[in-house]
Amino acid sequence: MEHPEIDFATVLASAVHDMKNSLCMLIQSMESLQQDLAPHSISASQELARIHYEASRLNTNLLQLLSLYRIEKDQLPLHLDEYPIDDILDEILVKNQIYSEQKAIAIQVECDRHLSWFLDNDLVSNLLNDIFVNALRYSKSKLLLKAAVHAEQICFEIHDDGDGYPEFMLENAVEQMNNLNLAAGRTGLGLFFAHLIAVAHQNKGKHGRIELRNGGAYGGGVFRLWLP
């Protein structure tokens, strides 16, 4: 009896999609439990916040895998539309409220309430959320989430007061953005994914880009996403 030919990549993508949906439901349940637990048990509430954080990271990783699969299959067209930028930033804050409050991270947002831009909301929101979650992990007490227009491009910025990006990461940022090295100990999937989404946004002969620096408003790491 012949076995049917299996396209493992497609099977994996389908499984990832199902896992992502289930994980989203679990995250929503955790958010409801957090509200019930907070007044009764600080320790249980803190533990749930840590679980919520790890679940959010896992959800982001699944979204990245799905997006990379679709890019490889040329099935990831950008869905561009005009979106209010403050809504995108507010959504990031809400998604990460449990963990940011548990870590007592003060978050400052700087954005013109009338600012809007043409972009792929799902991809850009996932990209920024991934960077924000990572910044929460390494911040000591505060974060800055910022968006503004410079020279006909919008720039999203995330500043933290942690120890900053490691020197090797700053030195090899361009290589990590252009090459996904699965043989290395650190795959750099998040950075590679961010670069793909950034450069996919093009307008008037320009394409998006990302920047990594240290210093910034709080002396820690600074992530910038530029979109034309």
Span 105-116, pLDDT tens digits: 999 999 998 999
Domain match, 21 and 114 both = no
Residue 10: pLDDT over 70: no
Of the chain, the percentage scoring pLDDT greater than 70 comes to 76
Q: Pick the residue with more confidence: 18 or 192?
A: 192
Strand partners, 111: 147
Write down which residue in 76, 106, 140 finishes a domain: 76
Domain match, 39 and 118 both = no
Domain match, 224 and 210 both = yes
Sheet of strand 209-215, all strands in order from the earlier edge strand to the far edge: 106-111, 142-150, 153-160, 220-227, 209-215
User: Please, are residues 208 and 197 in contact by the beta-carbon 8 Å criterion?
Assistant: yes
User: Please, are residues 88 and 125 in contact by the beta-carbon 8 Å criterion?
Assistant: yes
Least confident of 19-23, 92-96, 173-177: 173-177
Domain match, 103 and 184 both = yes
Write down which residue in 47, 76, 105 finishes a domain: 76
Q: Pick the residue with more confidence: 9 or 2?
A: 9
State the Rg of the chain over Cα: 19
pLDDT range class, residue 185, cuts 50, 70, 90 = very low
Domain match, 66 and 84 both = no
Least confident of 52-56, 101-105, 111-115: 52-56
CA distance 157 to 128: 9
Residue 57: pLDDT over 70: yes
Report the domain count for the chain.
Answer: 2
Q: What is the pLDDT of residues 13-23, one digit of tens each?
A: 667 667 766 77
Residue 221: pLDDT over 90: yes
Domain match, 6 and 50 both = yes
Domain match, 89 and 51 both = no
Residue 155: pLDDT over 90: yes
Domain match, 15 and 68 both = yes
Boundaries of domain holding 39: 1-76
pLDDT range class, residue 168, cuts 50, 70, 90 = confident
CA distance 95 to 32: 13
Domain match, 191 and 226 both = yes
Domain match, 214 and 226 both = yes
DSSP per position, 135-181: HHHH-SSEEEEEEEEETTEEEEEEEE-SS-S-HHHHHTHHHHHH---
Domain match, 122 and 26 both = no
User: Please, are residues 27 and 20 in contact by the beta-carbon 8 Å criterion?
Assistant: no
Write down which residue in 76, 109, 128 finishes a domain: 76
Q: Pick the residue with more confidence: 54 or 217?
A: 217
CA distance 85 to 145: 11
**CATH number, domain containing residue 158:** 3.30.565.10
Domain match, 123 and 188 both = yes
What is the 8-class DSSP label of residue 73? Answer: T
